[in-house]
Each structure stands twice: as C-alpha cells, then as structure tokens.
Structure 1
Amino acid sequence: MTTPLSELAVLIRSKNAGPFSLTFDIMFSSRENYERVKASGTLTRATMAALYGCPAEKTKFFECDNALAIKFSIPRPRPSGELGDGDLHGGQQYAPLLSLPIPA
C-alpha cells in the first residue's frame, strides 16, 4: 500500500535558487509523516536526480530533522529567463513530486 507524497506533506514547492539552480522544499506537519517518508527511501539524492534528469553529483540533498523538511537543489535545465525557459521563477517544477508513491 502506498500514499502519494502530496497526502503526507503539508507543503511541496519549488523555486529559483539563483539563475542556474532550482530548489525544492518538502515540509511536513507531523514527525510521523516525515519519518515515514525518510524511512521509505523514496526521496534520496539519486532518486531526485533521476526524476529530474540531472547528475546525482550535481544534486544537493538535505534532510532537516528539526524542521521536518526535506530539501534538494538541482541545476536548472536552462538559465532562468533564457529563451525556451518555460518557468522563469521555477515555481512549477514541483509537480512530479506530488504523485510520488510512498510505501506504508
């Protein structure tokens, strides 16, 4: 049995971390949900790099126990505002995270 990440997290967002990087925040309102997601192994540097098609060695990944948050940053596929950039502020890049299945 799995639960979509969007049902366990209270906030999932993405935004620019400068013109060449995107950062993602996944925040939880309960320690139980946070620990469940951490223990599942679904959110790791390698899985986030694979999901967003970037090298794992260029992915920064943090588990913030005191804030009940998981954060990661990846290089932008195109610099912010470059011709062909469809999301100037990086605010729409979180969508693939919403349906990630988290095992019980």
Structure 2
Amino acid sequence: MPKLNDVCRYVRSKNAGPFWVTIDLFFDGQDAYQRYSDDPAISAAAIGRLYGVEAQAVRRFKVDTLNVVKISIPRSQPQGGVLERDMHSGQQFVPMLDIVLA
C-alpha cells in the first residue's frame, strides 16, 4: 500500500493567517488524484487525530483542475506567540508524508 509521499509529487504547508495552517497535497497526475483524494487516511477525522484537533475544525478543499487537496487546520499556537515554534508553518506537512493509503 502506498504512502502519501509516493502518490504526491509535492506536499507543502504554509501559513493561512495567524490562526490557521494549510497543507497542500499535489497529486502526481489525475489518476493518483482520482484514486486517493478521498482516501479515508486523509479524511478530516484522520487529519484531526494526526494533528490533535477536532475533526469539525479540519477544512478540506478539493481542486479538481489542479489535482490538489488543500487541508486547513487551526494552529496550536497563534503565529508569533511566545509558544509558537514554526512561524511560517513550513514544517507542518512532515507528519503527513508517511500516511499509508488504501
């Protein structure tokens, strides 16, 4: 069974304002996108468990024309706060790379 990193040509995370992080999954072509974009391993519930947020707080957007799934989650700490550890959220995608897909 493939990992997310095997079926995406690019995975990135970035700031989505002071309270949100967005993770973009750029699938490696339309076939991979159609097969895995709705995989339960990247559902709102699964992402919520992975990042320690409630599933209702996870926002998923599919961009069919680009073969992309955008996932937004609330930041654990506000951007620039004293406890915040990744100002630009550039490292937040890493836990997703090893997600095993069905």
Residue 6 (structure 1) aligns with:
5
TM-score by length of 2: 0.92
Give the % identical residues. Answer: 34
Deviation at 1:39, TM superposition (A): 4.7
Could you tell which deviates more after superposition, 33-42 or 52-61? 33-42
1:60-71 → structure 2 map (5 Å cutoff): 60-71=59-70
Q: Please report the RMSD computed on the Cα atoms of aligned residues, expressed in angstroms.
A: 1.2
| Stretches of 4+ aligned residues off by more than 3 angstroms | none
Residue 47 (structure 2) aligns with:
48
TM-score by length of 1: 0.91
Give the unaligned 5+ runs of structure 1.
none
Deviation at 1:79, TM superposition (A): 0.4
Residue 79 (structure 1) aligns with:
78
Deviation at 1:40, TM superposition (A): 3.1
CA distance in structure 2 between the aligned counterparts of 1:41 and 1:79, rounded to whole angstroms: 29
